[in-house]
Chain A
Amino acid sequence: MPEYIMFIWDDEQAWELAEPATVEATMRAHGEFIAEHAGVIRGGNRLHTSESSTCVRADPQGSVRISDGAFAETKEVIGGYYLVEATDLDAALRIASRIPAPFGGVEIRPIRPTA
């Protein structure tokens, strides 16, 4: 059975400014979506905002460059993902720098624990 990841791209600022009622309604809608599709969902999470992102890129010399923030270039879109357990960012960066990504890089974002 093929699997798909569905990344939700949205406006973080709109989330920040949203009325509590809107946030609640959206969360409820997610709950309903999950219940309706429970048989096919393999995983899904809400992420911390992109401010908490870190990028890793291998440069042509083969060393690894780490930088703050999400990928900004519009040419690059999320093409796949791994969900990985790691104790801290250093451990996560070590794993991420092993992921083959010859045409781009890997963005590491901490998962937000469900309340």
Chain B
Amino acid sequence: MDPVVAAAVADAHRMHWGLVLAAAARLTGDLDEAEECAQDAYTAALTQWAADRLPTSPAGWLCTVARRRAMDLLRRRDVHRAKLPLLVEAPLTPGPDHVLEHGYADGPDEGGDLAGEGSPFVAVPDDRLRLIFTCCHPALDVNARVALTLRLLCGLSTADVARAFLTSEPTMAARLTRAKKKIETARIPYTVPAAEDLPARLAAVLDVVHLLFTTGHTAPAGVGLVRRDLSERALDLARMLHRLLPADAGVAGLLALILLTDARRHTRTDADGRLVLLPEQNRALWDRSEIAEGLTLARQALRVRPVSRYVLMAAIAATHASAPRWEATDWAQILALYDHLVTLWPSPIVALNRAVAVGHALGPRAGLDALEPLTRDPQLSGYHYLPATRAEFLHRLNRDDEARTAYTEALHLTDNATEQAFLRRRLAELPP
């Protein structure tokens, strides 16, 4: 195997898997068959690409081959007719008309000309939008949405998806099979939702991408704090959505949030893998190009009214990213943004983060008061950040005995080795 070809195919797999599968799925009307067609196309690339003559548009080449395989399958199916096409398409192609209003762009994407030569099918702007709306349909279990997105859009193997979610491969395979079966029997359509459904359905897609990012950014267990691959896939998906829906502020906000958070990845742990919190992070090592891109996107998104959830979260991340030093953080602005965010998204986690902002903007006494009602929230009862935050405030008020109790409580509530080590260090730093 020529290493140049192998690398080119691996790159194309990473970048274009979802596009190739989506193109085939439109013809086969069946996700399993579409996966086979996409797999065949990549296998063909391994033997047919030459190191000195790589295709000018690898995505176009792969889509054409996958479509040709799909056409072969369709012809065979016509003979046997053992299986009906299962994915449902809207009777009228959901004219990009309403999508255009929403800011759909058939930009200069990497896809190239996707209507394979001789194909009777007109190229649609991008089949990946259909695919992601199908995978993230709210009628599917939320874990299944994430798994389907990783498998079908990002091309992760079932084993990798299982590892990412700390479950066994057979369990993950069963989850994927069940989800695909539901798409088929319940007739979840393979289409961009109608205009009236689009805002809610796009929100569901953004939630899946955000969940993917946070799962990668903070692993719930084990030694590695950052499951880099998941974060990168989430960034790829957010970029893809922004390319396809450039006028949507929520999409821009999510991409900005991911960029601004990801920019800090090198400073979240030290050389020994220990957790480093925002105040101690070396800001010189933050990724400046990600921050610049994130700030531009966040500014654009903030101009659109009403402001949505991910845009506010991006604005909070932007405020941190803009502070040259921790001491220069504009806490008044961060608190104002959290005040707005809790009204849009009344979640106890958001309220907890707001309490942290209160502690910095108005002092540890006020922070402790803001935390107080949250200690009775059952949703936060197992969440280690709550006692850890209380401990910080108590320590700043010189109530070190109570701080010790709170740190100890937090320590019992996390499985993440990096977080545990951090809490132990904090405990050891308290005066005896």
A contacts, CB < 8 Å to B? 48, 51-54, 63-64, 66-69, 87-90, 92-94, 108, 110
Contacts and interface: CB of A to CB of B under 8 A. Distances in A.
**Chain B at the A interface: SS class:** loop
B425 interface: no
22 contacts: A48-B186, A51-B178, A51-B182, A52-B182, A52-B186, A53-B186, A54-B139, A63-B200, A68-B140, A68-B141, A68-B182, A69-B141, A87-B189, A88-B188, A88-B189, A89-B88, A89-B137, A89-B139, A90-B188, A90-B189, A90-B194, A94-B197
A80 B144 CA distance: 30
A92 B193 CA distance: 13
B91 interface: yes
Contacts of B188: 88-90
Contacts of A94: 196-197
Nearest to A113: B84
Contact of B186 (A54, A63, A64, A67): A54
A3 B203 CA distance: 42
Nearest to A112: B185
A68 B144 contact: yes
B139 A110 contact: no
B139 A93 contact: yes
Instruction: Give the residue among A54, A63, A66, A89 with the most B Cβ atoms within 10 A.
Output: A89
Interface residues of B, number: 24
B197 A110 contact: no
B125 interface: no
Given A52-B185, A90-B191, 17 more contacts: A48-B185, A52-B182, A54-B139, A67-B138, A68-B140, A87-B189, A89-B88, A89-B139, A89-B186, A89-B187, A89-B189, A90-B189, A90-B193, A90-B194, A93-B139, A94-B196, A110-B187
Contacts of A90: 188-189, 191, 193-194, 197
Contact of A88 (B88, B144, B182): B88
Contacts of B178: 51
Contacts of B140: 68
A94 B90 CA distance: 14
Contacts of A67: 138-139
A66 B88 contact: no
**Chain A at the B interface: SS class:** mixed
Interface of B: 88, 90-91, 137-142, 144, 178, 181-182, 185-189, 191, 193-194, 196-197, 200
A67 B138 CA distance: 6
Given A88-B189, A110-B186, A66 B139 contact: yes
A66 B138 contact: yes
Nearest to A53: B186
Task: Return the 4 tightest CB-CB contacts between A and B, nearest first.
Answer: A66-B138, A88-B189, A54-B139, A68-B141
B91 A68 contact: no
B155 to A, nearest CB: 24
Contacts of B189: 87-90
A87 B90 contact: yes
B147 to A, nearest CB: 13
Nearest to B84: A113
Nearest to B145: A68
B139 A88 contact: no
A36 B114 CA distance: 58
A107 to B, nearest CB: 11
A50 B178 CA distance: 12
A88 B181 contact: no
Instruction: Give the residue among B142, B185, B191 with the most A Cβ atoms within 10 A.
Output: B185
A95 B428 CA distance: 61
B134 to A, nearest CB: 10
Contacts of B88: 87-89
Given A68-B139, A69-B141, A88 B187 contact: yes
Contacts of B138: 66-67
A94 B196 CA distance: 10
A5 to B, nearest CB: 21
Contacts of B187: 87-89, 92, 110
Contacts of A92: 187
A64 to B, nearest CB: 8
Instruction: Give the residue among B138, B140, B191, B200 with the most A Cβ atoms within 10 A.
Output: B138
A28 B141 CA distance: 36
Contacts of A54: 139, 186
Given A88-B88, A88-B90, A93-B139, A52 B181 contact: yes
A87 B178 CA distance: 22
Contacts of B181: 51-52
